[in-house]
């Protein structure tokens, strides 16, 4: 188990995440208990699968679909501490593949895209908002577009 401060080169700064490399998945309730015990915004767990890794993230309360800083923290643990010769890694997640590359001390993360597509107005949404949006889109979430007044 590691604690990594992402987005910084200074101790006790940046965005902390716990990282737990595993050889195989533990039960979901145990992963959740570990994350709750860590009491950080996210704990990343990863397991090797061929030349890639599966990754999952847990807050102290729930599993989440995506977490950028914990992914970078996991890549740091893998490429800096476990396999220092490695320069790239692909993590497979519920949100799709996440590619991390390393150039010296800099890590770059390529997020999956979530293109928004037009949808019909969800029933009752305009009334609930008290306004008339110009468009409704859906990616992971519903996006409501308003024209400038």
Given 13, 42, 52, 54, which residue is catalytic?
A: 42
| SS3 at position 148 | coil
Tell me whether residue 63 is one of the annotated catalytic residues.
no
Residue 24's φ and ψ, nearest 5 degrees, are -155, 160
Q: Which residues of 66-86 are buried (b: 16+ CB within 10 A; e: fewer)?
A: bbbbbbbbbbbbbbeeeeeee
Structure tokens at 103: 């150039």
Which of the residues are catalytic? 42
């Amino acid at each position: 188990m590691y604690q990594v401060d992402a987005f910084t080169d200074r101790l006790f700064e940046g965005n902390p995440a716990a990282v737990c490399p595993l050889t195989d998945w533990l039960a979901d309730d145990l992963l959740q208990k570990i994350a709750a015990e860590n009491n950080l915004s996210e704990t990343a767990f990863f397991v090797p699968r061929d030349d890639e890794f599966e990754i999952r993230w847990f807050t102290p309360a729930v599993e989440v679909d995506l977490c950028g800083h914990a992914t970078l923290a996991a890549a740091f643990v893998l490429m800096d501490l476990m396999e220092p010769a490695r320069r790239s890694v692909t993590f497979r997640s519920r949100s799709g593949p996440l590619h991390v590359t390393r150039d010296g001390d800099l890590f770059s993360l390529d997020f999956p895209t979530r293109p928004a597509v037009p949808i019909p107005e969800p029933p009752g949404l305009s009334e609930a908002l008290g306004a008339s949006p110009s468009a409704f889109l859906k990616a992971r979430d519903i996006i409501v577009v308003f024209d400038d007044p």
